A and B are shown apart, each in its own frame.
With several copies, the nearest count.
Chain A
Amino acid sequence: MSESAPPVAGGLKTRRDIERAVVRFAGDSGDGMQITGEQFTIESAVAGSDLATLPNFPAEIRAPVGTLFGVSSFQLQFGSQRVYTPGDRLDMLVAMNPAALKVHLSDLKPGGLLLVNTEAFEPGNLKKAGYPSDPLDEPALAERYRLHKVDMTGLTMRALADLPLSAKDKERCKNFFALGLVSWIYTRPLEPTLESIQKKFAKSQVIADANTRALKAGHAFGETAEIFTESYAIEPAEMAPGLYRAMTGNRALAWGLLAAAQRSNVPLVYGAYPITPASSILEELAMHKRFRIRTIQAEDEIAAVTAAIGASFGGAIGVTGSSGPGIALKGEGIGLAVTAELPLVIFDIQRGGPSTGLPTKTEQADLMQAMYGRNSESPVVVIAPATPGDCFYIAYEAVRIAAKYMVPVMVLSDGFLANGSEPWLIPDAATLPPIELHFRTEKEGFFPYLRDPATLARPWVRPGTPGLEHRIGGLEKQDVTGNISYEPENHDHMVRTRAEKVRRVAQEIPPTTINGPVAGEVLVVGWGSTYGSITAAVERAQADGKSVASIHLRHLNPLPPDLGHILREYRRVLVPEINSGQLVRVLRAEYLVDAVGFNRVRGLPLASDDIHDAISQLLGDH
């Protein structure tokens, strides 16, 4: 909720209209917080809210129960206005155990709703969370927040008392109790969850019944219990009409590839080695063999990228995906695709680093690696999606460009986009631009490094084509003939040609959309997953009447042709990134503008409040 309401003492249950709310479910890894959050997301979407989500879970598979590092959480913001981010500070926190309270309380706004499961606040758990005594007994807590102590476990157990289930199984349903209660508080429809419970537990009707009852019990508890004095209603957001679905970034990348495979009508080979947070792309693709997607779980990332290159050599679309450490290993292989001039798509789902770093946390610090993480002059195209749903279009676009220009295309997503979801307007597949693959079969005048005058692409030849037998490789080649050449001028020419080919991809970039005035005080330039945080911050500043605009780059190499011009129309340029300042250096070097970075590397999305502050500061500093 953007305006926080003062705590209200008992009375009639009222329903207040609010514009937006930020809710976080937090509990033990075993408490089902991810599924609770996902269901709440669907309910909110069906209610017509715009929304954005932020799942956050530990690197451990099943951390010991009750520990601080075992806390798992799911946050979402939903509202009747455009929602760009999962929100900075919480309107409501659901804490299923003391550890969750300890880890997350500081993010709750003063006066925010705090719902705790009292049953879990027993000595063992308190100790694991490092509480010397029960924090729920501290009067300060109820003073600072609207504290609701509910024995969710007990209420759930009682609601399920007569069901033929073990106590443990019953206790497990408590997250649905919490969901029911929160759904009541925010007037979310239960139907989507009821349906999905039926689907999910189709194999065990008793479990389905138990969860259904728990959900309803939670809802009824809100309705009847004396302690909740009001609930909140949120008008449906004004969203483009059409059919929607919730979409996560990794699924969208996978589906973008499926669309590309179908439209291009050749097999697509995805070579990957599991790594967080990229693994789910491999897993998603493996389920769609009907699209002639062939997945190879390779022995390592080097094999993954080179298998993809082998596939491209064979006339299929070669794609590989990983996260930072795996991308580092692929550098040499990518260089081979650069010089062999074969299409290749590389997904980098960035995570916290360096080295193994923070595997389940998000970051944007692989931009330089994408540009330069290989020996010698080895240019590739670099593009980045702005939202989870945008991943679909970016993946599709990556295949299109790779095949058209015979060039590797690196896609920079990240952990936040990968797992985050948004309500996504389902596109009409027929409106996707065509992917035109030209496999040369004409013998006359053939040379392996002949070039298309518009794109500088060399011909793609499927082995099996009679008369076009040829050999390529990683040594420098004479232009046109493709024969090995160590000749100095040819090398210089080829270095320039490979660079020019990538530069020509600029002709694919549409004019940059400026969010705000076309000239003014401050321009905020972003890329990748910070889109939401930046847009929210900029729109807030604009609402305050500030002369601020933003642009968001989906193309990072080459940069949009109109960018230099745009940058010069503002007094200051601010570049917020979840890294130590990478795009900002590219812009400074390229355009000699005194752009400044706003950089926080916390494993989390940037807070739009912080960006807003940075904008204000720049505006102030005349």
Chain B
Amino acid sequence: MSATEAGAAAAPTPKYTKKDFESDQDVRWCPGCGDYAILSAIQKSMPDLGIPKEDIVFVSGIGCSSRFPYYMNTYGFHTIHGRAPAIATGLKVARPDLKVFVVTGDGDGLSIGGNHMLHVLRRNVNVTILLFNNRIYGLTKGQYSPTSELGKVTKSTPLGSADRPVNPLAFALGCGATFVGRTVDRDVKHMEEMIKRASAHHGTAFLEILQNCNIYNHLTWNVVYDKESKAAHELRLEHGKPLLFGPVDDRHALVMEGAQPKVVRAKDVPESALWVHDETKVNAAKLLADLWTPDYPIPTGVLTAIEAPVYEDIVLEQEQRAISERGPGDIAKLLTSGDTWKID
């Protein structure tokens, strides 16, 4: 490690407020965009991370969401469409000491950037990925995205889209994600909690944030905005707590029937038969990820959080082992090693 790398870790972290994380740039989202609430939640969460702000980097691709780094008074890199996970991987391999966030959208992260998303997740690079899912391409003015509903009428699909949507959580889990969570732009407290949880994860954290694009896809997530509907359908996951949801006077429970999840009246099952949420079980997370209304509740919170080998940890370990076993590289020695001959 260079002097700077070591030095950064040693410095005491100053006490910050939200203001410290606000950059001097004009925020250029549409008035009313859900991104404002997310920005505010992230700025508010930052002081609690206990990380010097010069050690924080926000990397993004292209999209309304990907404008994000400009508004954070940290290091930031607004890159090209879909490649932020790859850029973050290179950055982390070069600088494992930095705290790196990736901000992406449903188009950036799951359309053009789907492959990098797969590979950053399976590598388990230590970055926090925040995917703002508004089920639309905002920046290019309203074409359908990979998370748009089948049959979605948009500018590019006047008769309705012909492709089945991808479920970001199910996809992330299929890629071997070690942390998968979901939160909602209108639920400020939960967002902050999830941002901190995701940020604290060692490995790739994948957090889907349901976000409102009030211009091109207004209220697409109304089922979790509308107070009544939210009360009826949101299943708030909490480690060690049973899977219960619905209004207090009509509580429902999620239970397993063989290999199938099933919704029942809470009062109809004994407490012992309840499904208790366990974040360490990826299997269970996969079942949860697929749930949605009308047949099932909508899970929010941390679906899974497991420990697994982290890519750059191994890379660095190999390097350090090589150095400690055989000393740092010496080009002069290498050049003269092996088969050589002299000419006088």
Contact = CB atoms under 8 A, between A and B. Distances in A.
Contacts of A313: 77, 87, 91
Interface in A294-318: 294-304, 306-316, 318
A328 to B, nearest CB: 10
Interface string B111-148: 11011101100000000000000000111110110100
B57 A463 contact: yes
B30 interface: yes
Interface string B1-20: 01011001001000000000
Interface string B329-340: 111101110111
Which of B27, B144, B327, B332: most chain A Cβ within 10 A? B332
A314 B90 contact: yes
B73 interface: yes
Nearest to A240: B343
B77 A61 contact: no
Contacts of B81: 325, 356
Interface residues of B, number: 92
A612 to B, nearest CB: 29
B29 to A, nearest CB: 8
Contacts of A269: 90, 93-94
A65 to B, nearest CB: 7
B167 interface: no
Contacts of A46: 341
Contact of A309 (B23, B90, B97, B327): B90
A164 interface: no
Contacts of A463: 54-55, 57, 75, 91, 95, 98
A236 B341 CA distance: 13
Nearest to B140: A274
A574 interface: no
A236 B343 CA distance: 9
B229 interface: no
B326 interface: yes
Contact of B329 (A258, A311, A475): A258
Nearest to A192: B339
Contacts of B54: 463-469
Given A262-B330, A310-B94, A473-B78, A295 B73 contact: no
Nearest to B28: A60
A186 interface: no
B70 interface: yes
Interface in B143-195: 143-144, 146, 155-159, 161
Given A243-B336, A262-B331, A286-B157, A469 B74 contact: yes
B86 interface: yes
A271 B112 contact: no
B59 interface: yes
Interface in B53-89: 53-55, 57-59, 62, 64, 69-70, 72-83, 86-89
A121 B155 CA distance: 36
Contact of B76 (A63, A279, A304, A470): A470
Contacts of A426: 335-336, 340
A294 B319 contact: yes
Contacts of B34: none
A283 interface: yes
Which of B58, B118, B322: most chain A Cβ within 10 A? B322
Given A299-B146, A300-B111, A463-B98, A291 B69 contact: no
Contacts of B319: 289-290, 292, 294
A429 interface: yes
A81 interface: no
A526 B340 CA distance: 30
Contacts of B52: 466
Given A294-B94, A430-B332, A242 B140 contact: no
Interface in A333-362: 333, 335-336, 340, 355-356
Which of B54, B58, B144, B315: most chain A Cβ within 10 A? B54
A135 to B, nearest CB: 21
B6 to A, nearest CB: 11
B23 A297 contact: no
A314 B96 CA distance: 10
A290 B328 contact: yes
Interface of A: 42, 45-46, 48, 59-65, 67, 69, 192, 196, 236, 239-246, 255, 258-259, 261-263, 265-267, 269, 271, 273-276, 279, 282-283, 286-304, 306-316, 318, 325, 332-333, 335-336, 340, 355-356, 426-430, 439, 462-475, 483-484
17 contacts: A48-B343, A61-B215, A242-B343, A244-B343, A255-B334, A262-B329, A279-B155, A290-B322, A290-B329, A292-B319, A297-B161, A303-B119, A310-B94, A463-B54, A471-B76, A472-B76, A474-B80
Closest 8 CB pairs of A and B: A473-B78, A307-B90, A310-B90, A291-B329, A62-B30, A316-B94, A471-B76, A310-B87
Interface of B: 2, 4-5, 8, 11, 23, 25-31, 52-55, 57-59, 62, 64, 69-70, 72-83, 86-95, 97-98, 111-112, 114-116, 118-119, 137-141, 143-144, 146, 155-159, 161, 215, 315, 318-319, 322-323, 326-332, 334-336, 338-344
Given A62-B29, A314-B95, 14 more contacts: A240-B343, A255-B335, A262-B331, A274-B143, A274-B156, A279-B140, A279-B156, A286-B158, A299-B118, A303-B89, A303-B116, A310-B87, A313-B87, A333-B80
